[in-house]
Amino acid sequence: MGTHKLVLDDDFEEDFSLIAIHCSEEPYKVAYILNQFARLKLRREKLDLAFTSNGMEITLPLFGFEDHTEYTDYSLVANKCKSAIAKTNNSGGLFGNTTDKETVITYLIPELKKVDYFLKIQSDFDNLGTKMLINEINDIKQIISAYQVAPETLKSKDNLIFD
């Protein structure tokens, strides 16, 4: 009797465009300037993007906009999360234990550590306006640079699925 193998193709891929944004502003300010200059209507989502990394709960602010006329969804998410970890040191001295705080930076996409924000664009159609949107974003004086990233080249692209 022969053996049968079942092959599960990775057809769970989500098709989206991804724009990497370098900007030193706070997340709410980035969403605000994108709304002003790139004609988006990003709003803070009720729930932040939350995941666990190395036993720590990581939360990143998430802004979204559903353009019903163009059948397009936009999501702005920060790439970096700074967390403070308290470490207890046993000094054996008169005052007992001391606690030190250590700052740990966790990345949503570790391959692109220098990127500050990602703008994820999901559309039912081929997104022809992505290059024009990138040009509009690059014209904003607070934005250092913006460019398109191919999601299929990222090892941790599954972190960008947050629906």
Q: Is 133 a member of any domain?
A: yes
Q: Quick one: average pLDDT of 145-154?
A: 92
pTM value is: 0.80
Q: Quick one: average pLDDT of 4-32?
A: 81
Mean pLDDT of the chain: 84
Per DSSP, the three-state class of 102 is strand
Q: Is 140 a member of any domain?
A: yes
Check pLDDT > 70 for residue 98: no
- The candidate with the shortest Cα–Cα distance to 115, out of 2, 49, 19, is 19
Cα 31 to Cα 162: distance, rounded to the nearest angstrom:
18
Q: Which domain holds residue 149?
A: 17-81+108-160
What is the tally of structural domains in the chain?
1
Higher-confidence residue of 119 and 162: namely: 119
Tokens of 136: 């509009």
Q: Is 100 a member of any domain?
A: no
Longest dimension (CA), the chain: 75
User: Using 50, 70 and 90 to split pLDDT, how confident is the model at 33?
Assistant: very high
Check pLDDT > 80 for residue 122: yes
Q: Is 29 a member of any domain?
A: yes
Note the helical H segments in the chain.
27-37, 130-138
Q: Is 101 a member of any domain?
A: no
